[in-house]
Amino acid sequence: MPTADLNLLPTLDVLLEEGSVASAARRLRLSTSAMSRALARLRETTGDPLLVRAGRGLVLTPRAEQLRARVCQVVREAEAVLRPARQINLSQLSRTFFIRTSEGFVENFGAALLSRMEKEAPRTRVCFMSKADKDSRPLREGTVDLETGVVDESLGPEVRTLALFADRFVGVVRKGHPLGKVKITRSLYTEGRHVSVSRKGFEKGLVEEAMEPFGLQRQVSAVVGGFATALSLARATDLIATVPALHTGVLREGMHSFKLPFPAPPFVVSLLWHPRLDADPAHSWLRDCVREACARELARPSRSSSAA
């Protein structure tokens, strides 16, 4: 059985409402002959005359009378599907959002994010999911709504990104550490014992790349999977942790931070999502909440003073 031409539905809707080929043609800005051809196709498709002559005019057949309300509803629903999404009522929005990010991001920006969401959309909630790698499949598969991270060549080309802030590395030691009382030189930095951060357990990363042009090499005593863990170890030992300044502001409170004794290029932390969610009003609102939460926290005087 041939597939019905759904493009005929709007024409059928107008014909049944007007009850006249000429009136329907004027309304759709078609010629009378074009509308007559459309009616012929509709008659063939439905197996019913639809409009029949009665005196000088046309009247609807019983089949057409039965179809009129249904066709009108179908066309209106189709138009609603194709129409841009309307502004949502945040106070009534009930939805759980999944954000894949690091513990440090949650520690630093989670409270500000939840504060705005609670104020504007109290029925929403966030599930923060740990980010063990940079695989973009969770975004593509729809298991997460948003991710945060540094964009690199491993990111899928279809993933949308929005820069949140530029960050840089700083050195951190416990309160009372001998390095907290002196100016940090390259020799003091490299002679100390370090805790390195690597999701995959590698000893070399961005810090080593920054040191390499100067022929420097640090002594790594421990490798951990996240900055929060690195800072916990540094807080309880004499290890030196090298972590992003803005990304770990809250986590470094009560510790001594210092500028690295060699140039380390800044990097940009971005928000990532799949393009299928671009036009979703709720998702657009969530993206704005995350962006505003980061900007709000980074603007705090205590935040800027905590970055060495």
In a domain, 22, yes or no: yes
- 1 pLDDT tier (thresholds 50, 70, 90): very low
Q: What angle do CA 182, 104, 264 make, to 5 degrees?
A: 50
Residue 211, CB-side half-sphere exposure with 13 Å CA sphere: 17
Same domain, 110 and 57: no
Q: What pLDDT digit, counting tens, does each position of 191-235 carry?
A: 999 999 887 766 577 898 899 999 999 999 999 988 889 999 999
Q: What pLDDT digit, counting tens, does each position of 103-129 carry?
A: 888 988 999 999 999 999 999 999 999
Nearest partner of 95 among 248, 293, 286, judged by Cα: 286
Same domain, 199 and 52: no
Distance CA 247, CA 109 (A): 9
Distance CA 259, CA 171 (A): 6
Same domain, 47 and 117: no
Task: Let me know how many helices (H) and strands (E) the chain has, helices first.
Answer: 12, 12
In a domain, 3, yes or no: no
pLDDT of residue 220: 93
Residue 194, CB-side half-sphere exposure with 13 Å CA sphere: 21
**pTM attached to this predicted model:** 0.67
Distance CA 67, CA 122 (A): 44
Q: Which domain holds residue 68?
A: 8-82
Same domain, 180 and 155: no
What are the DSSP E strand ranges found in 6-95? 51-54, 57-60
